[in-house]
Amino acid sequence: MKRRIYLAGLIIMILGAGFTILGNKDLELVKNLDIYYTLFRELNMFYVDETDPEQLVTTSIDAMLASLDPYTTYIPESGMDDFQFQTTGEYGGIGSLIRRSGDHVIIAEPYDGFPAARAGLRAGDVILKIDGVPTDHQPIESISERLKGKPGTEIRMTIERLTHEKPLEFTLTREQISIPNVPYFGMVDPRTGYIRITNFTSGAGKETEEAVKMLKRNPDLDALILDLRSNPGGLLIEAVRICNLFVEKGELIVSTRGKVKQWDSDYTTQKEPLDTEIPLVILINRGSASAAEIVAGALQDLDRAVIVGQRTFGKGLVQTTRPLKYNAQLKVTTAKYYIPSGRCIQALDYAHRNEDGSVGHVPDSLISAYETRNGRVVYDGGGIRPDIESVPEDLSEIAIQLYAQNLIFDYATRYRSTHEEIAPPESFGITDEEYEAFKDFVETQDFEFQTASERIFDSLVRTARREKYYEIAHDEFTRLEEKLAHNNLKDLETFGDEIRQILDEEIVNRYYYQSGRIRAQIRKDQQLDKALEILHEPGFLEEILTGNLSALPASWSRIPSPQSGEPSAP
């Protein structure tokens, strides 16, 4: 341990010496590094219990970076595989999501076409052993690492399945797993193509290009929808490449500007486009961020696409990775990005924290107006505002809890065990009898939850007791409690339509994987329906892109300006 402390101190002293050479302007930095080193040394020598120097340093690094923004992070050598997966979408393994269920880890979702799915592993399978070693009570991170490995190596898995009395044995060969950025594309009606883009890892632009080319083989195609909802973003260059499919070569898509001026860059389209004329709608929501916002914002600024949905997350920051010693990396925010109109859509102001350390939204007073190419007004400082707002209905509390407590997942596992095949995703739906069976299943489970109204009521009762008003209004409280109390069976009936929709999607996923789930989701999709209405009602798309919103139905919701009192961030 003394050797490790000595090495850590030596590194800090060398760094301090390097800064001293720079002159007096770095004296404060050298002083604080010296304080850190002496504190670190004294702590390790005299703290009452044994300490882990490596853990102490890592903790101090994480705390330091947490004072900046959540995107500036330290990546130790042990975390490089996960980081590479986030940027490339590739890893060596069996191709499956896993999650914990009680004392065990289960298969949550095999990826179509990869070893787990090809071998016959199913969602809901319990992983009992890996290469003969039991997995019970093991951290899920440890099990995930054991499933990963060099492509071409074998792995033996012992599985417990609901319909089998004895465990099942599987031998799989690991492969290079590449998670698609475009898990599904197809025609949503005879004239409209649809492309779901879920990430912006390496290759997203190429995948989207191939999807567009395939859709254009349909001679009846006359409109296109890009679905960027809940897309967390990724590589900036992939956003530029996707925009390039729809705008002319040489068009400015995004600029980055930071403290180090030589790193400032303008990103323009480099190739001839596929189609600059096809009507285009982009779907967004609060989960659309980063590179997804660049695509939506740039094509909005260039008046190339109509944006439908909800205001996006508002991440206008750019990260760069910098190499550190011992194969570690620093992912650091180096710039803000600006889309063609000149606006930056960063929503949270990390540079000016509140007194309690929390981060506030960019205030409305600092939000500025910009113009698109056609002169439409757009705003910075709070994500991408859609041209036409479409907000899906909130799920009921019982639907949320059935999903969160895995009852929908578990019922789908049971359903898959007794049904070898089902109808295609576009037409599948559980029958009334099957929904009754689901209700019976829920009744046999330890399913309890509180609605938001019940939680607020309980808080009100506690406050009233503390302030000694409860006894005075006891009868009123009792009557209100009876009215607010939910009943599982009644709620299962009242909110049956939305629960059945979620059940359908989960069951379809067991047979048709992620692409099937998407196909089931878009059957009843309010925002997609709005996009189709815009594309197929003569003149609607053109009116929106020219700013003539008065020609549209009065019931359609537009995002107001910040000065109207709307919050400045989602």
Q: Is 380 a catalytic residue?
A: no
* Under 8 Å between Cβ of 99 and 140: yes
Backbone φ, ψ for residue 271 (5° rounding): -125, 165
CA-derived radius of gyration, the chain = 27
Say whether 315 is catalytic.
yes
Q: Identify which of 270, 253, 242, 263 has the alpha carbon closest to the alpha carbon of residue 185.
A: 242
What percent of the residues of the chain are helix, what percent strand, and what percent coil, each to the nearest 5? 40, 20, 40
DSSP 234: B
Tell me how many degrees the CA angle 487-492-496 measures, rounded to the nearest 5. 150
Out of 301, 303, 380, 410, pick the active-site residue. Answer: 301
CA 474 to chain CA centroid, Å, is 46
Q: Which of 315, 390, 491, 515 is catalytic?
A: 315
In the block, residue with structure tokens 């300490």: 51
Whether 136 is a known active-site residue: answer: no
Determine the Cα–Cα distance for residues 316 and 561; give it in Å rounded to an integer.
Answer: 19
Given its phi and psi angles, is residue 132 left (phi above 0), alpha (psi -120 to 50 degrees) or beta? left
Between CA 109 and CA 253 the distance in angstroms is 36
Give whole-number Cα distances, 552 to 100, 121, 391, in Å.
Answer: 49, 51, 18
Contact predicate 316/337, CB 8 Å: yes
Name the one residue in this structure whose structure tokens are 């090495």.
7
CA distance 399 to 569: 27
Alpha helices in 485-539 (DSSP H): 488-494, 496-521, 526-536
Going along 125-173, which residue ranges are E strands?
Answer: 126-130, 133-134, 154-160, 168-173
Q: Please name every residue paired with 281 in a beta bridge, in sequence order, or none if there are none.
A: 225, 306
Q: Is the dihedral of CA 342, 345, 349, 350 positive or negative?
A: negative
C-alpha 561/C-alpha 569 separation (Å) is 12
Among 202, 290, 341, 568, which one carries the catalytic annotation? Answer: 290
C-beta separation of 382 from 570 below 8 A = yes
* Residues contacting 433, CB < 8 A, separation 6+: none
Rounded to whole angstroms, how far apart are CA atoms 195 and 220? Answer: 16
Residues classed as catalytic: 290, 301, 315
